[in-house]
Amino acid sequence: MAIILGVDPGSRITGYGIIRVEGRTTEYIDSGCIRVGEKPWAERLQTIFHSLALLIGEYRPEEFAIEQVFMARNPDSALKLGQARGAAIVSAANSGLPVHEYSARQVKQSVVGNGGADKAQVQHMVQALLKLARKPQADAADALAIALCHAHMNQSLARVAGSGGRVRSGRMRHS
């Protein structure tokens, strides 16, 4: 069993999603958004750091997954996003969590089956995969998708390890 905390970093809103994975069963635990408002920049980063530390303390995840930085058109926005990611990563590292990073394309491919999927498609698939009564808010859905992507990657690695790493005809051979 593993509890995974997925984080979709942002300079104004940081989404988080927490799931439990046991074998092939995935269970929704919690999700939401850390809203930092219009505080001074250093206080926003501190809010992200402390809010994630509280979530880590409450839910005790074993794994931490976060979206990689993409090159934004605006360099200032890219720098701020990088700093928000840094605050989140340090919060996880301070708690001794291994940090795993995935590109937006990897996350969408893993959850939707299409690396170019839009936010609505990600929300829909997260809702379906986790059997949620309603669609989560977009940033929370993205964070849950990051956690699901990490779970899928772990399951794929376990299958490869279980097969001795042998692959035949594009399909894995089970011993």
The catalytically annotated residue of 76, 101, 118, 139 is 139
155-169 exposure pattern, b = at least 16 Cβ within 10 A, e = fewer? eeeeeeeeeeeeeee
What value does the CA radius of gyration of the chain take, rounded to a whole number of Å?
16
Give the residue ranges of the annotated binding site for Mg(2+). 8, 67, 139
Catalytic residue among 58, 62, 67, 118: 67
Pick from 98, 102, 105: nearest CA to 122 = 105
User: Is 67 among the catalytic positions?
Assistant: yes
Q: What angle do CA 153, 106, 53 make, to 5 degrees?
A: 70
Q: Is 142 a catalytic residue?
A: no
22 is catalytic: no
Specify the length of the chain in residues: 175
**Residues sharing a CB contact under 8 Å with residue 12, sequence separation 6 or more, in sequence order:** 35, 36, 37, 44
| Residue whose entry in the numeric block shows the structure tokens 């498609």 | 121
Contact 145, 108 (CB under 8 A): yes
Catalytically active residues are: 8, 67, 139
